[in-house]
């Protein structure tokens, strides 16, 4: 009879093709509110970040820096999220997933990057997706105080990549199946940021940079994730930004559970 796998056997596999990138602004840091994985514990048997617990000795993701931003500031959020609420935005991607977290007066933005192999088998592609999900699970703080906004699928996308990204989307959704999750259509993300549901990605990035000038957002994935986190906060009754009414006119009707 085959022996049951040990904890070492089922521990996270070392990944040489994926990484997590964080950047820091010049804003002052608040260590007591840091959401870096290096200071977070994981719930036994789940790999999920457990808020308010002592860190375990293993199962760490090597994040380098965390970005802290104080609200309010000119031209951006005029009210901070409650100290006990956490809002997460996820812009899923095979190559560069954007993650934004708003926790009280602290905001973090980061990327989870992955590189596939040309001609990869279906088994290799599956392992890559699982690895991405594990890395997302390692940086998203899951608790009863967390609301997560995920960008919905792009139903107009075609080709093999669309098939694979759909697999990633559902794996992430399964992992978060017991959490407070809202699904935000891509057009709604664009409208919230720019006022137009058909805006180009670079227009969204430009709008986000203007609206949140103290957040070091340099890529489309981070921009979308930050918009999603702001949407999560607004839907929870705690908006962290000031935007025209037209940008949110259909927000409640558009989001799904």
CB 214 within 8 A of CB 76: yes
Residue 2 lies in a domain: no
pTM of the model: 0.71
pLDDT one-digit tens code per residue, 89-116:
999 999 999 999 999 888 989 999 999 9
| pLDDT at residue 7, as a whole number | 43
Residue 250 lies in a domain: yes
Domain hosting 196: range is 18-254
Residue 12 lies in a domain: no
CATH code at position 176: 3.30.420.10
Question: What does the alpha-carbon distance between residue 21 and residue 247 come to, in Å, rounded to a whole number?
Answer: 30
| pLDDT at residue 154, as a whole number | 82
Residue 112 lies in a domain: yes
CB 138 within 8 A of CB 47: yes
| pLDDT at residue 155, as a whole number | 78
| Domain count within the chain | 1
72 prior amide bond cis, ω within 30: yes
Q: Which residues contact 74 (CB under 8 A, 6 or more apart)?
A: none
Residue 24 lies in a domain: yes
Residue 69 lies in a domain: yes
CB 251 within 8 A of CB 231: yes
| pLDDT at residue 14, as a whole number | 37
Residue 221 lies in a domain: yes
Residue 114 lies in a domain: yes
Low-confidence ranges of the chain (pLDDT < 70): 1-79
């Amino acid at each position: 009879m085959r022996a049951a796998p040990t904890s070492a056997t089922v521990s996270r596999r070392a990944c040489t093709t994926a990484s997590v990138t964080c950047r820091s602004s010049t804003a002052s840091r608040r260590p007591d509110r840091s959401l870096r994985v290096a200071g977070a514990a994981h719930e036994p048997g789940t790999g999920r970040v457990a808020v308010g617990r002592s860190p375990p000795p293993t199962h760490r993701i090597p994040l380098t820096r965390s970005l802290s931003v104080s609200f309010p500031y000119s031209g951006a959020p005029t009210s901070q999220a409650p100290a006990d609420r956490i809002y997460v935005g996820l812009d899923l991607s095979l190559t560069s997933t954007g993650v934004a977290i708003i926790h009280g007066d602290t905001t973090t933005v980061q990327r989870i990057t992955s590189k596939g192999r040309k001609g990869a088998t279906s088994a290799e592609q599956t392992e890559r997706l699982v690895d991405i999900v594990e890395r997302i699970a390692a940086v998203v703080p899951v608790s009863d105080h967390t609301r997560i906004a995920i960008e919905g699928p792009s139903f107009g996308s075609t080709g093999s990549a669309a098939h694979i990204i759909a697999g990633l989307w559902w794996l992430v959704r399964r992992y978060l199946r017991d959490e407070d999750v809202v699904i935000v259509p891509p057009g709604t993300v664009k409208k919230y940021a720019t006022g137009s549901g058909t805006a180009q990605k670079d227009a969204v990035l430009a709008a986000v940079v203007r609206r949140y000038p103290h957040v070091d957002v340099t890529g489309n994935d981070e921009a979308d994730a930050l918009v999603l986190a702001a949407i999560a906060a607004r839907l929870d009754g705690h908006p962290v930004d000031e935007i025209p009414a037209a940008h949110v006119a259909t927000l409640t009707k558009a989001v799904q559970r």
